[in-house]
Structure 1
Amino acid sequence: MTESAAAQTVSLFPDHFLRTSADYILSQQQPDGMIPWFLGHHADPWDHVEAAMGLSIAGEWGAAERAYHWLADNQLEDGSWWAAYKDGAVHNRERRETNFVAYVATGVWQHYLISSNRVFLDALWPTVEAAIEFVLRLQTEEGEIHWAVDGDGAPMKDALVTGCSSVYKSLECAVLIAQALGKARPAWQQGRRRLGEALRSKPYRFDRTWESKARFSMDWFYPVLTGVFNGSEARARLGARWDEFMVAGLGCRCVSDEPWVTVAESCELTMALVAAGEKKRAAKLYRGLHRWADSDGGYWTGYVYPDQAIWPEEKTTWTVGAMLLAADALADLTPASTLFTSVSQALEPAQDAEGIHHLHGFELAGGQG
């Protein structure tokens, strides 16, 4: 951590934040490495990875690696995972979601950036490769990726903006893993480029068979968080619906029409703001989130402000993981601090030229809200 970054931590989060946050996730992790939402609840592959990334940031590398090896041990032959697991068994066999499956690449790459553990990267490569191949088999000619397959493996033919945006970042990380291991995967680069084009210019390919998900804040900021939009386009996107989703002094609504702010979405919006060059606004939002911390290091999931009530009364491991990821993005705690706030220049320039001129750390005039 740089001296300037160390100075920032004083005001960004409380003393012992990293230790207590890590201890909370560790207290919920199962002996086999699985990280459920909380004790007695299920785990899903995406949130499991989010919590594991928090462990990597906090220096609990062994525990994080056990989490990734749990994924490797439970991966299906086609490269996917079921929607949920509990008590050492499959908990939900109804579907296998593409953004859940792809996210292992993001977590593995983040852990490698932090740990420099080449043995770990080599060991997880077959898991990442199989997961990404599964996901790309579900990409359509228009570029979007079907959100899931059903219990029998048949594609569930529609796409989600948030889910595809998450896959977009995971494909970036997968390409970088392949490059680090000296493995050419041009089809992955092509798949990512086509997915980005669909997200940027083909809105009609999303939410075709159900009600629009635009009321969810993640549809608003995830394309910024994951590098689909950068620079002025990212700032314009965040500015366009800021008043719909932000509650001054509290955080980000989960959905625009409900009086409920959630900590994880607020953390992810924090990182999206950093990615868009609005670091002061991001820091102000993030500092206020520590009011939702409990004495055991966990963070409450959300708050219904008309009732002044915490709801649900759950402290999810993935919420703590999101708190740690946002802290890293703001304070440069690890070598992976820019994972969600920039697009890697190691990608082929022709593939993502629009994402390379990223304004990391630049603060907009007036961006103090």
Structure 2
Amino acid sequence: MTTPRTEHLVLPGVLTPEQAARTVRGILDGQREDGAIPWFRGHHLDPWDHTEAAMALDAAGEHAAAERAYDWLARHQNPDGSWYAAYADGDASEPTDRSAESNFCAYIAVGVWHHYLATGDEAFLDRLWPSVRRAVEWVLALQQPGGEIGWKREPDGTPVTDALLTGCSSVYQALRCALAIAEEREEPQPDWELAAGALGHAIRHHPERFLDKDRYSMDWYYPVLGGALTGKAAEARIAEGWDRFVVPGRGVRCVVPNPWVTGGESAELALALWAVGESDRSLEILRSIQRLRDESTGLYWTGHVFDADAVWPEEQTTWTAGAVLLAVAALGGDEATCAVFGAGRLPAGLDPDCCAGVAGQ
């Protein structure tokens, strides 16, 4: 029997009530007592995937556990507003990669807005707002004149100004969530509106401003998932890459031409498909990756090498399970998840005066 917290996480051919509950438990089992959610116990934590897993917990109604995850971020934010790229087993005293990546640091805004929409907890929003504000300002210091966001800062603070399309698409979603938080708090951020508009424009119209990572499926669907591409442009983007990246009955390749499908990319594509109204194909993708599910843990193997019929790597990550739960939650109509991943439900920022005559979408 379903409960009010997980009824929207039940999807025929994807998750039964018992399976949904087991997957949620699998993520909770990976969370440390201090709130950190590493990839799996003994592996590292990165701030983006930590947040993705926390969002899945909110989608499942595990709001206290999700709040602990966000409080972990607030406690361990660096003075400049960033977080390190990786921490050993989620231990904040043991960073294993002291660089700081722009999309990793921006993503707290997505998670905080999602948690607020799921709970209505104004005290939480007040408490996390300073962390969101500092993180956004740190990220925007890496924005280039063309609107794109530099990838990261090296451990010594040196900026890497090369921009990644996937990362920038995620930052675009995060900036829009940060603007939504600012609006809710009645603290307008006009500079953020300009920055978000310039970034969205760069993603839509200036591929030359990003490193060429065309082989990676994330660069294909992330402009749709992050909300920069909508409507006909999004549909055309999905159609253009479908045969190249989707392996029927198996899922989505991480990188072409490798015979390797991954659960995380597949679930994210399912979310992108939901966002453009392709719920049937979204469901089809989610069903295709159930071969990656481990029923004993409720978690999912990262990927499957289909020409060798082999699981690889041999790991089950909290963020893969989180991505699956979020895709199912969107298809199930979970209001907070739909609001965060529904491109039309977030502030859009201000488009720059550029490329006159080019359609905005």
Counterpart contact for 2:203–2:228, Cα < 8 Å: yes
Q: Which residue number corresponds to residue 72 of structure 1?
A: 74
**Among residues 192, 204, 209, which one is paired with 1:200 in the alignment?**
204
After superposition, residues 144-163 of structure 1 pair within 5 angstroms as 144-163=148-167
After superposition, residues 139-178 of structure 1 pair within 5 angstroms as 139-178=143-182
Counterpart contact for 2:47–2:83, Cα < 8 Å: yes
Are 1:255 and 2:255 counterparts?
A: yes
Give, in angstroms, the shift of residue 343 of structure 1: 2.6
Give, in angstroms, the shift of residue 350 of structure 1: 6.8
Aligned with 2:95: secondary structure?
Answer: strand
Structure-2 change in CA distance of 1:34 and 1:281 (3 Å): same
Counterpart contact for 2:197–2:349, Cα < 8 Å: no
Q: 1:13-51 deviations in whole A, cap 9, x for unaligned? A: 222233211111111111111100001011000010011
Q: Which residue number corresponds to residue 362 of structure 1?
A: none
Question: Normalised by the size of structure 2, how large is the TM-score?
Answer: 0.92
Counterpart contact for 1:72–1:124, Cα < 8 Å: yes
Are 1:98 and 2:102 counterparts?
A: yes
Aligned with 2:37: secondary structure?
Answer: coil
The whole-number CA distance in structure 2 between the counterparts of 1:349 and 1:9 is 38
The whole-number CA distance in structure 2 between the counterparts of 1:78 and 1:6 is 39
**Among residues 115, 119, 122, which one is paired with 1:118 in the alignment?**
122
The alignment-based identity, stated in percent, is 47
Counterpart contact for 1:271–1:341, Cα < 8 Å: no
Q: 1:196-254 deviations in whole A, cap 9, x for unaligned? A: 111112212111xxxx2110000000000111111111010111111110000010000
Q: Which residue number corresponds to residue 187 of structure 1?
A: 191
The whole-number CA distance in structure 2 between the counterparts of 1:7 and 1:145 is 34
Give, in angstroms, the shift of residue 82 of structure 1: 0.6
Aligned with 1:92: secondary structure?
Answer: strand
Structure-2 change in CA distance of 1:121 and 1:7 (3 Å): closer
After superposition, residues 1-369 of structure 1 pair within 5 angstroms as 9-86=11-88, 87-207=91-211, 212-294=212-294, 295-344=296-345, 346-347=347-348, 354=360
Deviates more, 1:247-256 or 1:283-292: 283-292
Letter in 1 for 2:67: E
Question: Normalised by the size of structure 1, how large is the TM-score?
Answer: 0.90
Counterpart contact for 1:57–1:334, Cα < 8 Å: no
Structure-2 change in CA distance of 1:332 and 1:182 (3 Å): same
Counterpart contact for 1:83–1:93, Cα < 8 Å: yes
Query: Between Structure 1 and Structure 2, how many residues are aligned?
Result: 348
The whole-number CA distance in structure 2 between the counterparts of 1:17 and 1:350 is 44
Counterpart contact for 1:251–1:285, Cα < 8 Å: yes
Give, in angstroms, the shift of residue 288 of structure 1: 2.4
Give, in angstroms, the shift of residue 354 of structure 1: 5.0
The whole-number CA distance in structure 2 between the counterparts of 1:348 and 1:191 is 7
The whole-number CA distance in structure 2 between the counterparts of 1:317 and 1:132 is 25
Counterpart contact for 2:198–2:351, Cα < 8 Å: no
The gaps in structure 2 that reach 5 residues or longer are: 353-358
Letter in 2 for 1:63: A
The gaps in structure 1 that reach 5 residues or longer are: 356-369
Give, in angstroms, the shift of residue 137 of structure 1: 0.8
Letter in 2 for 1:267: A
Give, in angstroms, the shift of residue 333 of structure 1: 3.0
Structure 1 runs of 4+ aligned residues shifted over 4 Å read 5-8, 345-351
Give, in angstroms, the shift of residue 345 of structure 1: 5.4
The whole-number CA distance in structure 2 between the counterparts of 1:324 and 1:7 is 7
Counterpart contact for 2:36–2:69, Cα < 8 Å: yes
Aligned with 1:9: secondary structure?
Answer: coil
Letter in 1 for 2:275: A
Aligned with 2:20: secondary structure?
Answer: helix
**Aligned residues: CA RMSD:** 2.0
